[in-house]
Amino acid sequence: MVTLLMHSALATGCAAPAPDPLVTPNELTFDVTILKGEKVPFRTEAWMQPGKMIVFPDGTLLADFGPSVNTRVRPGVARVLYQRQLYELWDVAKKLGFTDPQLADFTANPYLVEAQPNEMVYIMTFAANSDRWTFVRRFEGTAQPDPASEVWVKVMAQAAFAMDLKADADLPIRYDFGPDPYAWFKPPAK
């Protein structure tokens, strides 16, 4: 009897169930890098600025934007997402077609990607459990990216609280606080 129970347990218990494609994986990581060529004209939209955003499985979102950002930058913490928000990001990625590793179009090292002088590059890396896959989208700096990658980068930028820049963002901000606040302490003028 014991032999029969052990034999039936071994025969049925060893086969691992197939993963359910509708279940959200527990270990999710999202990484978006936006590269901009040096001849691309200034764009004010946050999702068209050089930047890097990384979401870790615990919900920590790292983000940095600016001309010095490249593929090797490790940004600082921008915020922490709730687990529900992490799953919502996965659902958006699924609707856009980025959750299938078979559809990934880039197999080399994403850290080696560089933007040509007149182009912008979106590097979108996804990881679920032990799988990792990358999509790279290149487009002219004056053009729009493909709709799916545009939506994904916008969603990630919004999650990172990225804001659009003003057209005159490079100009210094000058404040006029009125008369000299230290005039009372100065000796009277003669």
pLDDT tens digit sequence for 21-76: 567 787 899 999 999 999 998 888 888 999 999 999 999 999 999 888 888 889 99
Q: What is the pLDDT of residue 9?
A: 47
In Å, what is the CA distance from 165 to each residue of 33, 123, 143?
Answer: 18, 22, 18
- Higher pLDDT, residue 187 or 62: 62
Q: Grade residue 142 by pLDDT with cuts at 50, 70 and 90.
A: confident
Q: What is the pLDDT of residue 184?
A: 77
pLDDT tens digit sequence for 93-132: 999 999 999 999 998 888 899 999 999 999 999 999 889 9
Q: What is the pLDDT of residue 4?
A: 45
Which burial class, exposed, middle or buried, applies to 171 when counting CB atoms under 10 A from its CB (0-12, 13-18, 19+)? exposed
Q: What is the pLDDT of residue 3?
A: 53
Rounded Cα distance between 15 and 94, Å, is: 28
83-89 average pLDDT score: 93
Count of positions (residues) in the chain: 190
Q: Grade residue 171 by pLDDT with cuts at 50, 70 and 90.
A: low
Q: What is the pLDDT of residue 66?
A: 87
Average pLDDT score over the chain: 84
Q: Grade residue 5 by pLDDT with cuts at 50, 70 and 90.
A: very low
Rounded Cα distance between 35 and 128, Å, is: 24
